[in-house]
Amino acid sequence: PAVEFGLEAPFTVEYHDAVGSTNAVARDRATDGAADVVVLADEQTGGRGRLEREWSSPAGGVWLSIVTRPAITPARAPLYTLAAAVATTRAAREAGVDARIKWPNDVVVPVDEDGAYRKLAGILTEMEGETDRVEWLTVGIGVNANLDADGLPDGATTIRDEAGEDVDRRVFVQRLLEEFDAVRADLDGVVPAWRELALTLGQRVRVDRSSGALVGEAVDISDSGALVVESEESGKRETVAAGDCEHLRP
């Protein structure tokens, strides 16, 4: 293997040189009853983003999925995505990257004052459960670590490109998992932690909802992690629980 994993608790790490998708392996582990297991791969041959999009995952990145069984209702599940974004951003900042969070699930590096950015990492949360209780929840995190942005989709950046050097992936993953464990242990602290690292707040955004596009200023996120947008059309504050968000020029 390209990376040696002698990681400490809080998670048991299952390492693969290559898999289709760590989220798919994590789903198998979750349905088998696993908890606090991390599936980690050097390379994914079928990495996925949201909405069945492709996620480029060549060897040299950090592609991992965390299997958890949290005692929460599904309504609180988005907080796990925010917790993963906070943890990933903190770990990237320790590695020398000016990482910030773009709502809801992107870790990005700003390129100007107007909200333009390049994408360093993405997060894909999946879960199973009933209306009142989550049975399992997997958090997939993909970080462009020791890669050249050249080989990735337009708009991507990497730790190598931003920090000017490769990161020790064992140390990076350890820090990321420690941060994630700390943030999830205090779910009420997730939103304040997220706000401090957010790039989206204060930006002019367009959010695509099922009911149509909403354009306005992103003013806050709610206690459950929904984006609060002051609509240019209605002048009212509207809350969006999920959707794609684009930063617009002011």
Nearer to ligand BT5, 50 or 230 (CB): 50
| Shortest CB 123 distance to ligand BT5, Å | 6
Confirm if 193 and 86 have CB atoms less than 8 A apart: yes
Nearer to ligand BT5, 10 or 49 (CB): 49
Nearer to ligand BT5, 123 or 221 (CB): 123
Closest CA to 95 of 11, 41, 170: 170
| Shortest CB 233 distance to ligand BT5, Å | 26
Confirm if 186 and 86 have CB atoms less than 8 A apart: no
Nearer to ligand BT5, 103 or 184 (CB): 103
Binding site for ligand BT5 (CB under 6 A): 21-23, 44, 47-51, 53-57, 63-65, 105-106, 119, 122-124, 140-142, 144, 152-153, 156
| Shortest CB 164 distance to ligand BT5, Å | 19
| Shortest CB 226 distance to ligand BT5, Å | 17
| Shortest CB 46 distance to ligand BT5, Å | 7
Nearer to ligand BT5, 43 or 135 (CB): 43
